[in-house]
A and B are shown apart, each in its own frame.
Chain A
Amino acid sequence: MTALPAPLPSAGPPHLTRWLLRLHRPALYAWTALVLLTAVLLILLQGPFADAAAEGWRQYNSCGFNARCVYDQSAILRYKDWYNYATLATAAVPFLAGAWAGGALLGKELESGTARLSWTQSSTPVRWLAVRLATPAAVVTAGTAPLAWLHHLAWAAGRGRIHSAKEWYDVGTFHTGGPVLVGLSLAGLAAGALAGLLVRRTLPALGLGVLLTGAIWGTVLVLLPHLWPTLGRSGRGYLAAPSGSWTVSQGGTAAHYHVTYHPYAHYWPLQLTATAVLLALTALLTLACFLVLRRLTGRAAAR
């Protein structure tokens, strides 16, 4: 009969997280480098770059209508350009998360069969997937939260001082300067994971991960103005929303004109409701991931 040898003393839970981090060490290094470089850039923007650009605008404004005007134009352009680069790098994070989760994290494992290798060790496919969703989610949150905060500071440093600075409702600025960034990145991660589980091939899953992330972002863009009640004005004459507010709609005739808008005071309510919507979507996508896994491995086997 089968003789079962005595168990070794080192019994404990399997160390799935450690090996996940080992397998994706290059990605972890690249992510750390991206976060650090962008963070340094945002700190520069918030401090010396913003100060120099504000000084440039102060010089420009003091020129009045003089024909000759000496001001530091390069400082103004430097803030503007590097702010755009930093925004681009930060806004790319949800897409990178979706592409990586679809391609490298799940698509590749399912395509090459290493997923099956893992499922025949001593832990269940459900634990395998749970670790593969929770660990990157923690890493992505730990990176995007400080980035969003620093981005907000870099933007706020120019607000009211730098006339070429973006408005608060600018697409790039809004979606990278608050918890919405964290929500988008987590949703991208979950969407990529679902793509990987559905397609089970590296490159198509990578593409679908990016596509789904883009679809999520597009949906948020469309929904965003409606996530918090707008303020409105109506009356005779062509009215405008108060300066610094985000015009959502306007129209009518000169006799009866109306405009609806979000004032800057709606910044945080909009950020928080959009984040809540994204986190709910992330939860649904995660649930879908586990349902697909159960379909792949069988109801009982997945447990």
Chain B
Amino acid sequence: MTDTAIAASALGKRFGRRGGWALRDCTVRLPAGRVCAVVGPNGAGKSTLLALAAGLLGATEGELTVLGTTPAEARTRIGYVAQDKPLYPQLTVAETLRMGADLNPGRWDAAAAERIVSAGDLNPGSRVRALSGGQRTRVALALALGKRPELLLLDEPMADLDPLARHELMGVLMVQAAQHGTTIAMSSHVVAELEDSCDHLLLIGGGRVRLAGEIDDLLAAHTRVAADADADLAPHTVVESRTTGRQLSALIRPAGPLPADWRTATPSLEELVLGHLRNPGAPALTPDSASASAPDSASASTEETVA
């Protein structure tokens, strides 16, 4: 067993020889057993990263290790649900689950898959083509979880669910993660939907990693400050700053103690994400970059992540 679910170094994917880069220079490490939110605007490269990890695409450059081996070798231990929840429309719900059993011999947990489906009040005899978006998501999740994956990759899993179903299915995922130690990586462009359930964050913008790490560590590394307009923010790393009248408000990564007359607050996850997305020039904060730029403060947090 390995304690790393996904390790990527300088990973890049370009579609076509002259196409643009969907993902570039992506170096991340997702520890096993975490629930990781992969966040970023549409077209940021989230889906590409998940498809690479699922062994559906070949990387153009860089290295990618999943569950201690190549994505293709780890295929039987990975569950993947694509954004549009593809299922065979002509099969019934029950047939879809039977297919899952037949295509994953030796791994299939029929009881778990049926539990997820029956919780949704789904008739096993209904054809998949007759299901609503939320019901399809439920069947797709049942198919992915029935495989008893060690790593579950979910691309925008909750996008077409009503709040009730979203809450309920998120609960199913959290139980799975807690009971079986399943590592879950799920992408979303809605931060709020992930804040309560995820403990790890990967923020991708413009095909590059902007933020990576435990959410608590990331929040602790940032501070919202309000100060006089002429205050000098150096030597702290400024993610975003705005001056309104005589007031300066900023999101910073403190490099040391802050002056006593600055009012400080812990940012919310959403503020953190939006601050970084609005300011593409802000330096990235990942465990690797932290150890390079600020050795004294980062070595502690890096070790924390590894342990």
Contacts and interface: CB of A to CB of B under 8 A. Distances in A.
Contacts of A121: 100, 103-104, 147
A236 interface: no
B189 interface: no
A8 B106 contact: yes
8 contacts: A2-B150, A12-B106, A14-B103, A15-B103, A22-B99, A116-B51, A301-B55, A301-B70
A299 B71 CA distance: 12
Interface string B38-64: 000000000000010011111100000
A123 interface: yes
Interface size class of A (residues with CB under 8 A): 35 or more
Nearest to B13: A298
Interface in A284-303: 297-303
B105 to A, nearest CB: 5
Contacts of B106: 7-8, 10-12, 122
The interface centre, meaning the residue of B54, B59, B72, B108 with most chain A CB atoms within 10 A of its CB, is B72
B88 A114 contact: yes
A8 B79 contact: no
Interface string B82-101: 10101110110001000110
Interface string A55-93: 000000000000000000000000000000000000000
The interface centre, meaning the residue of A13, A19, A117 with most chain B CB atoms within 10 A of its CB, is A117
A119 interface: yes
Interface string A1-35: 11111011011111110110011000000000000
Interface in B168-183: 180-183
B56 A301 contact: yes
Contact of A15 (B56, B102, B109, B182): B102
A120 B79 contact: yes
A116 B75 contact: no
Contact of A297 (B58, B87, B147): B58
A3 B56 CA distance: 25
Given A1-B33, A121-B103, A298 B57 contact: yes
A119 B75 CA distance: 8
Given A5-B148, A116-B56, A121-B147, 14 more contacts: A2-B32, A8-B107, A10-B108, A14-B105, A19-B103, A23-B90, A113-B84, A114-B87, A120-B54, A120-B56, A121-B103, A299-B58, A300-B58, A301-B57
Interface residues of B, number: 46
B260 interface: no
Contacts of A8: 105-109
Contacts of B72: 124, 298, 300-303
Contact of B71 (A2, A13, A122, A301): A301
The 8 closest A-B pairs by CB, nearest first: A298-B58, A11-B106, A113-B86, A121-B103, A120-B80, A15-B102, A2-B181, A301-B55
Interface of B: 1, 3, 32-33, 51, 54-59, 70-72, 75-76, 78-80, 82, 84, 86-88, 90-91, 95, 99-100, 102-109, 143-144, 147-148, 150, 180-183
Nearest to B70: A300
B195 to A, nearest CB: 25
A112 B129 CA distance: 12
A1 B99 contact: no
Contacts of B82: 113, 116-117
A302 B73 CA distance: 10
A4 B141 CA distance: 19
Contacts of B107: 7-8, 122
Contacts of A3: 180-181
A118 interface: yes
Contacts of A18: 102
Contacts of A124: 72, 75
A260 to B, nearest CB: 49
Given A5-B148, A122-B147, A297-B58, A116 B86 contact: yes
Contacts of A16: 103
Contacts of A11: 105-106
B91 A22 contact: yes
B148 to A, nearest CB: 6
Contacts of A113: 82, 84, 86
